[in-house]
Homo-oligomer: A and B are copies of this chain.
Amino acid sequence: MLNPGGNIQLDGEGRLRHFLTTDGLDRRILIEILDHAESFAVVGDRPVKKVPLLRGKTIVNLFFEASTRTRTTFEIAAKRLSADVQSLSVNLSSTTKGESLRDTLQTMEAMHCDMFVIRHSGSGAAHFIARLVAPHVSIINGGDGRNAHPTQALLDMFTIRQHKPDFAALRVAIVGDITHSRVARSDIYALNTLGVREIRVVGPKTLIPAGIESLGVKVYTEMESGLRGVDVIIMLRLQRERMRSALLPSEQEYFRCYGLTEERLRLAREDVMVMHPGPINRGIEIDSRVADGERSVILQQVSNGIAIRMAVMALIAGAGRGRA
């Protein structure tokens, strides 16, 4: 019983087949991805940043929601693995011809594509697609609605482990719009699985979902108490669109209450790590001096994002070879 619960993300041997969410992935898999990423992190520093692991594989970025940044990281990761990459912006193509999602997928499968990276504004889209695809095809979730962004979560875990390898000792605060954040959700699952001491979510009451305590987190609506004594601060990007709705006051008001300033940073542990999935809104959720300061690991996160995506693709392709 290598995949006892019939987890859709694992194959019959218990190896990673799809990468959809950190929810329900056990510690062994998460650690395997992190360990694998170690070996790819050094590739970025070499003069020849390329390994032939995925030569002759075709990876398709199927983006139903625009995101140049995420698409670029997946493209670069795939190219450094020597894969062939196709990026399709789906709004602009087949759906305008009235082709159904299922037909689009089957068409790409028939072209012998090996892996799809899915980005979609609808929660659950990646799972939905993973259930549709043929046995030889793997799905990587590049972010679906409010649901999950598992490569972001894993690069966050990788970055934390680089600096503070003893997860059991850590207090982590996730700050911002928890309700709408797939990053928050995926980080919470991963942090719990890796056994951190304490997870806090910090933000205005209107942006914290009721009952989130059931995920094993503590809720703080006051920034100062939320940051006190933490080892890691994960700032979330504020979607400015929310400002226009009733959920949020003005940008200045938000920054006054929840912006990460140097003063507030002093409430955390001296060796606190400041993280952010990017792109940052300077002066809205984070002060520039903190974003660019010595506690910030934001750019390391970006570098590690390439290594994590290479690791996930390579592991999945390895599982695929096992199946074939």
Interface residue ranges, A against B (CB under 8 Å)? 44-50, 55-58, 66, 68-69, 72-73, 75-76, 79-80, 84, 86, 88, 92-94, 97-100, 103-104, 106-113, 240, 278-282, 299-300, 302-303, 305-306, 321, 324
Q: Tell me whether A47 and B94 are in contact (CB under 8 A).
A: no
Check B55 against A111 for contact (C-beta < 8 Å).
no
State the 9 A-B residue pairs at the shortest beta-carbon distance, nearest first.
A48-B56, A68-B93, A110-B302, A99-B279, A50-B56, A44-B112, A110-B299, A79-B84, A110-B303
- Residues A111 and B302 in contact, CB atoms below 8 Å apart: yes
Closest to A134 in B: B299
Contact of A299 among B46, B57, B106 (CB under 8 A): B106
Are B111 and A72 in contact, with the CB atoms below 8 A?
yes
Q: How far is the CB of A319 from chain B (nearest CB, A)?
A: 13
On whether A111 and B76 interact (CB within 8 A), knowing A55-B50, A88-B68, A279-B97, the answer reads: yes
Q: Which residue of B lies closest to A237 (CB)?
A: B97
Q: Is the CB of B306 within 8 A of A112?
A: yes
Copies per complex of this chain: 3
> A301 — nearest CB in chain B belongs to which residue?
B110
Query: Among the listed B46, B55, B93, B305, which residue makes an inter-chain contact with A56, where contact means beta carbons less than 8 Å apart?
Result: B46
- Contact: A107 with B56, CB < 8 Å? no
Q: Closest B residue to A50 by CB, please name it.
A: B56
Q: Which residues of B contact A93 (CB under 8 A)?
A: 66, 68-69
For the complex with contacts A99-B279, A103-B278, A107-B299, 12 further pairs of A-B residues with Cβ separation under 8 Å are A44-B111, A46-B56, A47-B57, A48-B57, A49-B57, A50-B56, A76-B86, A76-B111, A79-B84, A106-B299, A106-B302, A107-B279
The reply to whether A73 and B111 contact each other, CB–CB distance below 8 Å, is: yes
Known contacts A69-B93, A278-B107; A58 and B76 CB within 8 A of each other = yes
> B residues within 8 A CB of A48?
55-57
A180 to chain B, nearest CB (A): 15
Residues of B within 8 A of A103 (CB): 278-280
Interface residue from B69, B80, B84 paired with A94 (Cβ < 8 Å): B69
Q: List 18 A-B contacts (CB under 8 A).
A: A46-B56, A47-B56, A49-B112, A66-B93, A68-B93, A69-B93, A72-B111, A76-B111, A80-B84, A94-B279, A98-B279, A103-B279, A107-B278, A110-B300, A110-B303, A111-B302, A111-B303, A112-B303
Minimum CB–CB distance from A32 to chain B (whole Å) comes to: 21
A107 touches which of B45, B104, B112, B302 (Cβ 8 Å) = B302
Find the B residue at minimum CB distance from A284: B98
**Nearest B residue (CB) for A106:** B299
> Taking each of A73, A99, A111, A278, which has the highest tally of chain B beta carbons within 10 Å of its own beta carbon?
A111
Contacts of A94 in B (CB 8 A): 68-69, 279
Most chain B CB atoms below 10 A, which of A46, A47, A240: A47
> Counting chain B CB atoms within 10 Å of each CB, which of A97, A281, A300, A302 scores highest?
A97
CA distance A29 to B20 in the complex (A): 47
Q: Chain B contacts of A79 at CB under 8 A?
A: 58, 84
